[in-house]
């Protein structure tokens, strides 16, 4: 009886371990599933800033906000890998759509960036990066996107006419482009920044680079 009892206990332990292993596998699988894209309709990026080959088979769109700390982090952690692995190789073209979730500063930063894009498209991406670089690493709620700070950033780019940039900010000259972006944000249903879309599909986790790679590879196959 003692031997049988020990055997039964061992069997129960094995069953418990197997159950735990199955549960763990389900959790891992579920988390992986959550990282995969969800279907939405194709995103029209006509007139948007574009980085990469125009005929690249995969389009990746970032819905971002210059005031957003997570967008800055995405630009530091994921964007360089994306450029190296897919944009420079001609597989992905990258576009950025302004999101205005942080109010007046978001609007001002977007107006300035759009002004640079319209007047000096050759330096747009460098200016875009400089704006994110200027975002403070602490006290994110503090006001830092101001006309003065933007002009100071622009002073690092000889191609940018600061007088015209100042006028564009004062007159909100690129307001129509900003409204177009805002309408696109509403149309797509963006609720957080950054939101990443790959060939019209939203990634569940914008920081899951392995899932982004998988989605890009799948989109490339779909285009073949």
pLDDT at 17 exceeding the cut of 90: no
Global pTM value: 0.82
CA angle 123, 208, 86 (to 5 degrees): 45
Q: What is the pLDDT of residues 27-85, one digit of tens each?
A: 333 333 445 566 666 899 999 999 999 999 999 999 999 999 999 999 999 999 999 99
Q: Please give the pLDDT value at position 222.
A: 85
pLDDT attached to residue 28: 34
Question: In the structure, what pLDDT confidence band is assigned to residue 223 with cuts at 50, 70 and 90?
Answer: confident
3-class secondary structure for the chain? CHHHHHHHHHHHHHHHHHHHHHHHHHHHHHHHHHHCCEECCCCCCCCCCEECCCCCCEEEEEEECCCCHHHHHHHHHCHHHHHHHHHCCCCEEEEEEECCCCCHHHHHHHHHHHHHHHHCHHHHHHHHHHHHHHCCCCCCCCCCCCHHHHHHHHCCCCCCCHHHHHHHHHHCCCHHHHHHHHHHHHHHCCCCCCEEEECCEECCCCCCHHHHHHHHHHHHHHHC
pLDDT of residue 184 exceeding 60: yes
Averaged pLDDT, 123-143:
94
């Amino acid at each position: 009886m003692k031997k049988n009892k020990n055997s039964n206990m061992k069997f129960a332990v094995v069953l418990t371990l197997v159950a735990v292993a199955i549960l763990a596998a389900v959790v891992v699988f579920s988390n992986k599933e959550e990282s995969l894209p969800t279907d939405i309709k194709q995103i029209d990026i006509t007139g948007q800033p574009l980085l990469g080959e125009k005929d690249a088979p995969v389009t990746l769109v970032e819905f971002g906000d210059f005031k957003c700390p997570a967008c800055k982090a995405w630009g530091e952690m994921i964007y360089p890998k994306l450029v190296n692995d897919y944009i420079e190789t001609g597989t992905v073209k990258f576009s950025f759509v302004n999101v205005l979730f942080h109010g007046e500063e978001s609007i001002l930063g977007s107006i300035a960036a759009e002004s640079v894009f319209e007047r000096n498209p050759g330096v747009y991406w460098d200016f875009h990066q400089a704006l994110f670089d200027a975002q403070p690493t602490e006290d994110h709620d503090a006001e830092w996107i101001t006309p003065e700070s933007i002009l100071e950033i622009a002073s690092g780019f000889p191609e940018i006419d600061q007088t015209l940039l100042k006028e564009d900010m004062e007159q909100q000259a690129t307001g129509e482009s900003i409204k177009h972006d805002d309408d696109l944000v509403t149309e797509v249903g963006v609720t957080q920044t950054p939101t990443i879309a790959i060939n019209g599909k939203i990634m569940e986790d914008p920081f899951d680079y392995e899932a982004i790679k998988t989605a890009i590879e799948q989109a490339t196959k779909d285009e073949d």
